[in-house]
């Protein structure tokens, strides 16, 4: 993999991390709304926790 390809790959990865972080914010809002009306938030919380772990793993793996 050339340096240019590597830079593009890392830029794409950073973009995906930004999208994932935005999705985390959306899920957090959904959790808050569900709690207000008394709904079960286990599934949403599992999604949130799983996505957090994925993002953290990518950041650690690629030192972003």
- Is the pLDDT score of 3 beyond 90? yes
Q: In sequence order, what are the residues at sequence separation of 6 or more whose Cβ sits closer than 8 angstroms to the Cβ of residue 35? A: 41
Mean pLDDT of 12-40: 97
- Indicate the pTM of the whole model: 0.86
pLDDT tier at 6 (50, 70, 90 boundaries)? very high
Given a contact cutoff of 8 angstroms between Cβ atoms, the answer to whether 7 and 20 are in contact is no
Note the pLDDT tens digit of each residue in 51-60: 999 999 999 9
């Amino acid at each position: 993999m050339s340096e240019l390809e590597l830079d593009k790959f890392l830029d794409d990865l950073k973009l995906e991390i930004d999208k994932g972080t935005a999705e985390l914010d959306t899920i957090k809002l959904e959790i808050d709304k569900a709690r207000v009306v008394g709904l079960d938030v286990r599934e949403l919380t599992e999604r949130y926790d799983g996505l957090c772990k994925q993002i953290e793993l990518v950041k650690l793996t690629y030192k972003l």
